[in-house]
Amino acid sequence: MLNTEKRNPRTTHLDQMSTMEMVRVMNEENMVSVLAVDRALPQIAQAVDAVAAAFEKDGKLVYIGAGTSGRLGVLDASECPPTFGVDPRMVQGIIAGGYERLVSAGENAEDSYEAGVRDVEKRLMAGDVLVGISAAGGARYVVGALEKAKELGCVTVAVTSNADSAITQKADIAIVCDTGPEVLTGSTRLKAGNSQKFVLNMLTTCAMAKTGKVYENLMINLKPSNEKLRGRVIRITAAILDCSEKKAEALLEQNGWDIRKSVESVK
Shared domain check, 22 and 147:
yes
**Catalytic member of 5, 29, 79, 227:** 79
Shared domain check, 249 and 127:
no
Give 104's pLDDT tier (boundaries 50, 70, 90). Answer: confident
**In terms of pTM, does the model score above 0.75?**
yes
What does the pLDDT look like over 246-266, one tens digit per residue?
999 999 999 999 999 999 998
Domain, as residue range, for 195: 3-210
Is the pLDDT at 107 greater than 70? The verdict is no
Shared domain check, 184 and 94:
yes
Query: What percent of the chain has a predicted confidence (pLDDT) above 70?
Result: 99
Give 165's pLDDT tier (boundaries 50, 70, 90). Answer: very high
Shared domain check, 236 and 131:
no
- How confident is the prediction for the chain on average, in pLDDT? 95
Among 105-114, 179-188, 189-198, 254-263, whose mean pLDDT is lowest? 105-114
Shared domain check, 104 and 36:
yes
The answer to the question of residue 96 being in a domain is yes
Shared domain check, 65 and 26:
yes
Catalytic annotation present for 249: no
Catalytic annotation present for 110: yes
**Catalytic member of 29, 110, 147, 249:** 110
Shared domain check, 231 and 122:
no
Span 45-59, average pLDDT: 98
pLDDT at residue 106 in the model:
63
Which CATH number fits the domain that encloses residue 101?
3.40.50.10490
Shared domain check, 185 and 142:
yes
Is the pLDDT at 23 greater than 80? The verdict is yes
Span 171-191, average pLDDT: 97
What does the pLDDT look like over 190-208, one tens digit per residue?
999 999 999 999 999 999 9
How many domains does the chain divide into? 2
Shared domain check, 157 and 31:
yes
What does the pLDDT look like over 59-103, one tens digit per residue?
999 999 999 999 999 999 999 999 999 999 999 999 998 888 888
The answer to the question of residue 222 being in a domain is no
3-state secondary structure the chain: CCHHHCCCHHHCCHHHCCHHHHHHHHHHHHHHHHHHHHHCHHHHHHHHHHHHHHHHCCCCEEEEECHHHHHHHHHHHHHHHHHHCCCCCCEEEEECCCHHHHCCCCHHHHHCHHHHHHHHHCCCCCCCEEEEECCCCCCHHHHHHHHHHHHCCCEEEEEECCCCCHHHHHCCEEEECCCCCCCCCCCCCCHHHHHHHHHHHHHHHHHHHHCCCCECCECCCCCCCCHHHHHHHHHHHHHHHCCCHHHHHHHHHHCCCCHHHHHHCCC
